[in-house]
Structure 1
Amino acid sequence: MNGMGGNTMTGTSAGRFGIDGLREVVKGEVLTDGDPAYAVSSRTLTVQGHPAVVVRCAGADDIAAALRYAREHQLPVAVRSGGHHPAGFGTNDGGVVIDVGLLDEVTVVPEEDGRRTVRVGTGATWGRVAGELASSGLAISSGDTAAVGVGGLLGGGGIGWMVRRLGLALDSVVGAEVVTADGVARRVDAVNEPELFWGVRGAAGSLGVVASYDVVAVHQPTVLFGNLLFPSAQLEQVVSGWAAYMANAPVELSSSVQLPPTMFAEGQAPVAVMVCVSGDLVDAERLLAPLRALGTVITETVAEIPYGDILTTEQMPPEWTPRMRNGLFDRWVPELVERLADARRRMPAMAVDVRALSGAFGAVAPEATAFGRRDARFMVNTVLLGSTAMHGGQVDGFDSLWEGLQPEGAYGNFLSHPTAEDLDRCFPKSHRDRLAALKQEVDPTEVFSTALTVPPAGRIS
């Protein structure tokens, strides 16, 4: 990448160094097996790793030092933000884990044009971000879970409760500080290193460690949020009607349909239509009326609440090992609901979440960010909940379901066992080619490598 700037981190330019030398230059913490915080920092939501060292970074200098240590000792690198990626990308065995959890600043920076930019440390959780912004009535469309880390979600997308009004969470990013594999900290935006800025918005984990993001917030102190519950017997009727309405619904309405696993239900598991109305709430009732008419509403919990309260705080039992697959669909096919309903009957541990996209999500030009699947109108996400033992023989049926669905794309943040086919679905060919060239410039030796990393151009045949 011609003209790449940035600053090489201080304190790490001397010769080869070992673990004691690493401890000398790191301002945060250097943890090895036996240290009190090692087990927590080396674990993700689904995987307990056993890295050689965990570096809890207090700044970009620490990130650079950890990368240098990994390069010199030829150790694999994992980057841990909130540790919520279902594939366990935030840890490894025998390598270096760069834990950015200490980088949790949330600072509002008013600009001359009235825009409110928030500098967010990549280790902050979205619950912390929402809490810090609540007093000023500001909000960022993030994900749906309070404990998820900023870095992991923004690096791959961010399908939140204002996705149809504001787009992906990464669509609100206007700048970032990135430490690349060479230990150089780069401030990137639309003017400074625009190609790297393009790449970190959708493929950040392939290109470097993001220390902070600059994100535009909106004034949204409250939203109308909740669910409408319909009888299980009306599943196909409700889902088909919901999809028809949401295909062209006003952008102020974001919505999903959730089908809980029958394994944990008492009696018939109801169909839940989740809704979030943002922006001007005056016409909210008009937007919701078609949804209430989809079937027989058993209960409704829709109410005006603070934006931060919509992020779920539910914790998954530690022994659970969820298996997650998803697909992005450019249109709703009638047979889709039939296949999902049939699969749910055969796999009692499977939950289904169908999210409406389009709106602002689809208004972004496909080539504008590394996330390129902008034609998608719906995302179907399926999860086998419970422990491996509870899954039993359902895994084969779960995987064969997706072999038959053939979606147009996939969302990388919701894949627990990503394959080469998933990588192709995450990135269209034009995006893969561009990412490969960018990877060749900033990380030709593949310091950062996961199952969802596009390899450098030198490895493309």
Structure 2
Amino acid sequence: MTGSSAARSGVDGLRAAVQGEVLTDLDAAYEVAGKTFNVQGYPAVVVRCAGAEDIAAALRYAGEHQLPVAVRSGGHHPAGFGTNDGGLVIDVGLLDEVSVLPDRRTVRIGTGATWGRVAKELGSSGLAISSGDTAAVGVGGLLGGGGIGWMVRRLGLALDSVVGAEVVTADGVARRVDAVNEPELFWGVRGSAGSLGVVTSYDVVAVEQPTVLFGSLLFPWTQLEQVVTGWAAYLADAPVELSSSVQLPPTMVADRQAPIAVMVCVSGDLAQAEQLLAPLRALGTVLTDTVAEIPYGDILTTEQMPPGWTLRMRNGLFNRWAPELVETLAEARRRMPAMAVDVRALGGAYGAVGADAAAFAHRGARFMVNAVLLGTTEMYGGQVDEFEELWKGLAPERAYGNFLSHPTADDLDRCFPKSHRDRLAALKDAVDPQGVFGTALTVPPTERSA
């Protein structure tokens, strides 16, 4: 009997051991439970955990049946890390608590909550947390890997606001970690992409931010070079209250002369917002200006991919903006009609954090170039080789793990410099020597990495 079939045969015992829900391929909800944003998986068992005890029971069961383990929060990682084939999925979606602690600034957030829910809950109190940019993204996945959101230049990564967490390690023990209690594990869970255990909740510092100034400035395609070059020069050292990105849509769903979108978000004190935006409005001929003051929660996108669509995503973090990048990306976009490009400005608070402060590294980066092939595989399949060649030519030395759909061993090196890999390997030795938790972006224990 194979491991997966044996797992199915013993599932009644697992059901009796957990308060949550256990699903196999005999259950109506199974296929949806095995699907993530970009990947359809077929695990042997899905355990929707109601607490740390359920997670511990699921880990014991996986060990008894020798099942690989995947952890699902919102299921939004493009590589499909929240599912697998023939293994066990720990689904933490039921752990969606959002509560403001007595200090009125720290928020305890269940790892299965979505950022849309968090923003809605906090918005009624005028509070906000710099999260990602999509409402459906899960808290656990984003905070485990980084969190480049619309207040990244003012507040840093989302994980930079984390002051504590509860994590269930491979031995089934629930540990409260922070700067005092198990500080090394606290260092690791902030950026190791879930490779050290299952976080059940995070304590995160919020800020008073009931509204932001948010929207887009559209410029003619013919002004691409001057707009992007001027944007990069300004954002390299712009005031931290301004976060911004440049977006180029795929030509297969837009006219080849589709406008360039400069997205902006001004947070903090909005009194000087117009002064901050003036240099951007002067970059070229503004076709449309939708910038307006809106509640912070309303800026999180709720768009979903059409049925049958998937994506292929790569990115690079760059310490400076090279002028030739504009021409390279524009020319590649003309050749690959399924490719969208998103360039995000970093720096500010993102770079003010020490490089060794958390498992996430690369604080010297000022820009992230992110490109995506969109559509059905029939629509973009013929462009995959050219897409990969583009990234070989760009040759980024650093990458952001949350935006990689097909990560490789080279990508693991790009995400973690050697000093971080050594430290993470030592942590794996201490809390997960058997490598229970692992993806293509997991630094293995030292014995396995030797």
Normalising to structure 1: TM-score of the pair?
0.95
Asked if 1:373 corresponds to 2:362, the answer is yes
Paired with 2:268 and 2:32, the residues of 1 have a C-alpha distance of: 39
Aligned amino acid, residue 89 of structure 2: V
Asked if 1:142 corresponds to 2:131, the answer is yes
Paired with 2:102 and 2:219, the residues of 1 have a C-alpha distance of: 44
C-alpha distance after superposition, 1:132-152 (max 9, x if no partner): 011100000000000000000
1:22 to 14, 36, 40: 14
Secondary structure, aligned partner of 1:207: coil
Deviation at 1:195, TM superposition (A): 0.4
Aligned amino acid, residue 388 of structure 2: D
Deviation at 1:392, TM superposition (A): 3.4
Paired with 2:252 and 2:30, the residues of 1 have a C-alpha distance of: 35
Match of 2:214 in 1: 225
1:78 to 35, 46, 70: 70
Secondary structure, aligned partner of 2:190: helix
Q: Counterparts in 2 of 1:271-310, with a 5 A limit?
A: 271-310=260-299
1:432 to 421, 446, 450: 421
How has the CA–CA distance of structure 1 residues 194 and 346 changed in structure 2, closer, same or farther, with 3 Å as cutoff? same
Query: Could you tell which deviates more after superposition, 55-64 or 259-268?
Result: 259-268
Deviation at 1:204, TM superposition (A): 4.0
C-alpha distance after superposition, 1:62-96 (max 9, x if no partner): 01111110011110000011101000010011100
CA contact (8 A) 2:38 2:311 kept: yes
Count how many residue pairs are aligned between Structure 1 and Structure 2.
Answer: 442
Match of 1:13 in 2: none
CA contact (8 A) 1:178 1:187 kept: yes
Paired with 1:71 and 1:459, the residues of 2 have a C-alpha distance of: 19
Paired with 1:75 and 1:284, the residues of 2 have a C-alpha distance of: 53
C-alpha distance after superposition, 1:370-413 (max 9, x if no partner): 00110000000000010110003211110000001111310000
Deviation at 1:362, TM superposition (A): 0.2
Paired with 1:368 and 1:193, the residues of 2 have a C-alpha distance of: 15
Q: Counterparts in 2 of 1:38-117, with a 5 A limit?
A: 38-111=30-103, 116-117=105-106
Aligned amino acid, residue 38 of structure 1: Y
Aligned amino acid, residue 311 of structure 2: P
CA contact (8 A) 1:134 1:308 kept: yes
Paired with 1:94 and 1:342, the residues of 2 have a C-alpha distance of: 42
Deviation at 1:460, TM superposition (A): 2.7
Deviation at 1:205, TM superposition (A): 1.3
CA contact (8 A) 1:204 1:210 kept: no
Show structure 1 runs of 5+ residues with no match: 1-16
1:330 to 307, 314, 319: 319
Match of 1:353 in 2: 342
Match of 2:384 in 1: 395
Deviation at 1:231, TM superposition (A): 0.5
Match of 2:395 in 1: 406
Show structure 2 runs of 5+ residues with no match: 1-8
Aligned amino acid, residue 323 of structure 1: R
CA contact (8 A) 1:409 1:426 kept: yes
Paired with 1:158 and 1:204, the residues of 2 have a C-alpha distance of: 11
CA contact (8 A) 1:18 1:69 kept: no
CA contact (8 A) 1:77 1:95 kept: yes
What do you get for the CA RMSD once the two structures are aligned? Answer: 0.9
Deviation at 1:48, TM superposition (A): 1.1
Aligned amino acid, residue 110 of structure 1: P
CA contact (8 A) 2:187 2:358 kept: yes
Aligned amino acid, residue 379 of structure 1: M
CA contact (8 A) 2:166 2:177 kept: yes
Deviation at 1:440, TM superposition (A): 0.9
Paired with 2:140 and 2:427, the residues of 1 have a C-alpha distance of: 20
CA contact (8 A) 1:44 1:84 kept: yes
Paired with 2:139 and 2:96, the residues of 1 have a C-alpha distance of: 9
C-alpha distance after superposition, 1:110-141 (max 9, x if no partner): 32xxx611000000000000000111000000
Match of 1:119 in 2: 108
CA contact (8 A) 2:122 2:128 kept: yes
Aligned amino acid, residue 273 of structure 2: A
Secondary structure, aligned partner of 1:366: coil
Deviation at 1:34, TM superposition (A): 2.2
CA contact (8 A) 2:193 2:441 kept: no
Asked if 1:260 corresponds to 2:249, the answer is yes
C-alpha distance after superposition, 1:215-253 (max 9, x if no partner): 000000000000000011111111111000000000000
Paired with 2:223 and 2:393, the residues of 1 have a C-alpha distance of: 24
Query: Could you tell which deviates more after superposition, 380-389 or 31-40?
Result: 31-40
CA contact (8 A) 1:101 1:122 kept: yes
Aligned amino acid, residue 184 of structure 2: E
CA contact (8 A) 2:193 2:442 kept: no
Secondary structure, aligned partner of 2:275: helix
Deviation at 1:36, TM superposition (A): 2.0
Paired with 2:13 and 2:335, the residues of 1 have a C-alpha distance of: 56
Paired with 1:453 and 1:392, the residues of 2 have a C-alpha distance of: 28
1:250 to 239, 246, 265: 239
Paired with 2:216 and 2:17, the residues of 1 have a C-alpha distance of: 51
Paired with 2:42 and 2:287, the residues of 1 have a C-alpha distance of: 48
Match of 1:236 in 2: 225
Paired with 1:285 and 1:46, the residues of 2 have a C-alpha distance of: 39
C-alpha distance after superposition, 1:302-356 (max 9, x if no partner): 0000000000011111311100000000111111111101100110110000000
Secondary structure, aligned partner of 2:200: strand
Aligned amino acid, residue 229 of structure 1: L
Secondary structure, aligned partner of 1:153: helix
Match of 1:198 in 2: 187
Secondary structure, aligned partner of 1:401: helix
Paired with 1:147 and 1:177, the residues of 2 have a C-alpha distance of: 22
State the identity as a percent: 83
CA contact (8 A) 2:110 2:202 kept: yes
